[in-house]
A and B are shown apart, each in its own frame.
Chain A
Amino acid sequence: MPTISRRSFLVAGGAAGISACASRGTRRDVAPLDIPNETRADAPLFFNAEERRFVSAACARLIPEDELGPGAVQAGVPNFIDRQLAGPYGQARTWYMQGPWRKGSEQQGYQLKFAPAELYRLAIRNLDAYCRRQFHAAFADMSNSDQDAVLTALEKDSIELVDVPGKTFFTMLLQNTTEGFLSDPMYGGNRDFAGWKLIGFPGARYNYVEEIEQYGMSYPLPPVGLLGRRGGRTRKI
Chain B
Amino acid sequence: MATKLAAVDAVIVGFGWTGAIIAQELTDAGLNVLALERGAFRDTIPDFAPTHIQDELRYAVRKATFEEPERQTLTFRNNSGETALPMRQLGSFMPGVGVGGGGVHWNGQNWRFLPTDFKVRSHNQQRYGKKFLAPDMTMQDWPLSYDDLEPHYDRWEYLCGISGKAGNLGGVIQDGGNPFEGPRRREFPNPPLKRSAASLKFDEAARSLGLHPFPCPAANTSRPYKNPLGIQMGQCTYCGFCEWFGCGNYSKASPQTTILPVLLRKDSFRCKTDANVIRVNLDSSGKRATGVTYVDAQGVELEQPADLVVLCAYAHHNVHLLLLSGIGAPYDPTTGRGVIGKNYSYQMSAYIDVFFDEIVNPFMGAGALGQVVDDFNGDNFDHGPHGFIGGAYLSMWTTGGRPILQHYLPDGTPAWGSQWKRAMHENYLRASGMQIHGSVMSYRQNYLDLDPTYRDIYGSPLLRMTFDFQPNEHAMMKFTSQRAIEIAKAVKGVRGLHKRAREGHYGIVEYQTTHNTGGAILGENPRDSALNRYLQSWDVPNLFVMGTSAYPQNAGYNPMGTVGALTYWAAAAMRSRYLKNPGPLA
* Chain A contacts to B: CB under 8 angstroms: 1, 3, 23-27, 29, 34, 61-64, 66, 68, 71, 88-89, 93-98, 100, 102, 104-111, 148, 151, 155, 174, 177-179, 182-184, 187, 195-196, 198-209, 211-213, 215-219, 226
Q: Bound complex: CA of A183 vs CA of B60, how far in Å?
A: 11
Which residues of the partner chain A approach B7 to less than 8 Å between Cβ atoms?
none
Q: Bound complex: CA of A93 vs CA of B69, how far in Å?
A: 9
Which residues of the partner chain B approach A211 to less than 8 Å between Cβ atoms?
361, 364
A206 touches B249 (CB 8 A): yes
Which residues of the partner chain B approach A174 to less than 8 Å between Cβ atoms?
415-416
Q: Bound complex: CA of A24 vs CA of B295, how far in Å?
A: 9
* Chain B contacts to A: CB under 8 angstroms: 39-40, 50-52, 54-58, 61-64, 68-71, 73, 76-78, 82-83, 85-89, 91, 97, 194-197, 200, 235, 237-241, 248-249, 274, 276, 295-299, 358-359, 361, 363-364, 401, 403-404, 407, 415-418, 420-422, 424-425, 428-429, 453-455, 457-458, 505-509
Known: A26-B297, A213-B195, A215-B200. A110 touches B88 (CB 8 A): yes
Q: Bound complex: CA of A182 vs CA of B403, how far in Å?
A: 6
Q: Is the interface of A mostly helix, strand, loop or mixed?
A: loop
**Neighbour of A109 across the interface among B248, B404, B509, CB < 8 A:** B509
B197 touches A202 (CB 8 A): no
Which residues of the partner chain B approach A23 to less than 8 Å between Cβ atoms?
297-299
A204 touches B54 (CB 8 A): yes
Which residues of the partner chain B approach A64 to less than 8 Å between Cβ atoms?
417-418, 421
The 7 A-B residue pairs with the shortest CB-CB distance, nearest first, are A107-B507, A199-B428, A208-B364, A183-B57, A204-B54, A182-B403, A96-B69
Question: Can you pick out 29 interface pairs between chain A and chain B where the beta carbons lie within 8 Å of each other?
Answer: A1-B457, A24-B457, A24-B458, A34-B58, A61-B417, A66-B421, A96-B69, A96-B86, A97-B70, A107-B508, A108-B76, A108-B87, A108-B507, A151-B416, A174-B416, A179-B61, A183-B57, A183-B404, A198-B424, A206-B50, A206-B249, A207-B237, A207-B238, A209-B238, A212-B196, A212-B238, A213-B194, A215-B197, A217-B359
Known: A201-B401, A208-B239. A216 touches B359 (CB 8 A): yes
B177 CB to nearest A CB, Å: 21
A55 CB to nearest B CB, Å: 14
A206 touches B248 (CB 8 A): yes
B428 touches A201 (CB 8 A): yes
Q: Bound complex: CA of A176 vs CA of B5, how far in Å?
A: 47
B69 touches A94 (CB 8 A): yes
Known: A25-B295, A108-B508, A199-B403. A209 touches B237 (CB 8 A): yes
B423 CB to nearest A CB, Å: 10
B429 touches A105 (CB 8 A): no
Which residues of the partner chain B approach A109 to less than 8 Å between Cβ atoms?
87-89, 91, 507-509
B73 touches A96 (CB 8 A): yes
A195 touches B403 (CB 8 A): yes
B537 CB to nearest A CB, Å: 28
Minimum CB distance partner of A171 in chain B: B415
Which residues of the partner chain A approach B428 to less than 8 Å between Cβ atoms?
199-201
Minimum CB distance partner of B358 in chain A: A216
Q: Bound complex: CA of A88 vs CA of B62, how far in Å?
A: 10
A25 touches B54 (CB 8 A): no
Known: A68-B425, A96-B88, A201-B363. A216 touches B237 (CB 8 A): no
**Neighbour of A63 across the interface among B54, B196, B296, B420, CB < 8 A:** B420
**Neighbour of A226 across the interface among B55, B88, B364, B458, CB < 8 A:** B55
Minimum CB distance partner of A23 in chain B: B299
Known: A24-B457, A108-B77, A109-B88. A95 touches B83 (CB 8 A): no
